[in-house]
Amino acid sequence: MQKAIIFRLTRVIEEYGLRTNNATLTGEAIPARKMADASLQSGLSELDRPNLIFAGTSIASGTWRAVVAATGMSTQFGRIAHLTQSIAEEPTPFQKELNQLSKVTAWIALGIGAFVVVIGYFSLNFPVKEVTLLALGIVVAVIPEGLTATLTLSLAAAVQRLAKRGVLAKKLSTVEKLGQVSVICTDKSGTLTQNQMTVRDIWVAQKRIKVTGVGYEPVGNFSPDPNGQAWEKDLLCLLEVASCCNNSRINHPSIEHPGWTSLGDQTEAALKVAAMKEGFLKKRSIAFCRVYMKFRLTHAASA
């Protein structure tokens, strides 16, 4: 087997140059080396064992053969999903303070209402019904019923301001937590970046050629334009090597993945995309069709 996306926990029994992309589990962008040798060292977790391939990861390079060791919720990916679903979300400090404020306000309102009942009934000789209605009205007026709605609208307005600056907040409570953050520590690859490599410069025949475009979308230009240049054949030869000596695969946009994606080693994917920008793969396909049609016509004529 070669390039694939793993949906089960598997145990490697045979491999050659096998490397896996464990970014979905560990966040590490560099492919991890996998071996078929038995892991006898004690104290290692499943993630540290070099002879296991985990669900949710992909094969970056190499050939391999493995047996299934676990499926579904028994895999590391399934355990992570179970943890995310079973852990209850604790109230934020803002919500705790709001609940405390509501309790204090309610007790104050009840105290004022009781004071009004006592004064109105015993001192002012108001009827019980009128005093009770007056006390209830004061209690309702003192309790800030619209406080929750007002704070929710304030957080929603803050989310809109963040959206204008390119920050997407899934929950309103995120705005409160973001206001309490002073330092953010995060992994760069795949978090702040798209975790995609791109060929930007090519050096061939003592010429430096700049390549435009970002990511795995095969759209870009070469500067200077190689068409008609003396070094055009050298560039095409280099792109042919980059495309043929390559085990990666470029996937077209789909419903699940709106953008261009790759399967395999990221460096090889970047080299293949560079060849696709020049249209080399398309030219090679046209040339193959011409040779095939010529062969069919020659075969038909000889028959």
- Active site positions, annotated: 187
Residues 6+ apart with CB under 8 A from 192: 186
Residue 141 token pair = 């007026």
Q: What share of residues in the chain are helix, strand, coil (percent, to 5)?
A: 50, 15, 35
> How much is the CA Rg of the chain, to the nearest whole Å?
33
Please tell me whether residue 276 adopts helix, strand or coil conformation.
helix
Cβ pair 265, 19 in contact under 8 A: yes
Residues 6+ apart with CB under 8 A from 152: 172
Q: Of 279, 268, 282, which is closest to residue 216 (Cα–Cα)?
A: 268
For 282, other C-beta atoms within 10 Å of its C-beta total 12
As beta bridge partners, residue 19 has 33, 61
Tell me the one-letter amino acid at 283: K
As beta bridge partners, residue 203 has 208
Residue 297 token pair = 């016509």
Residue 294 token pair = 């010529």
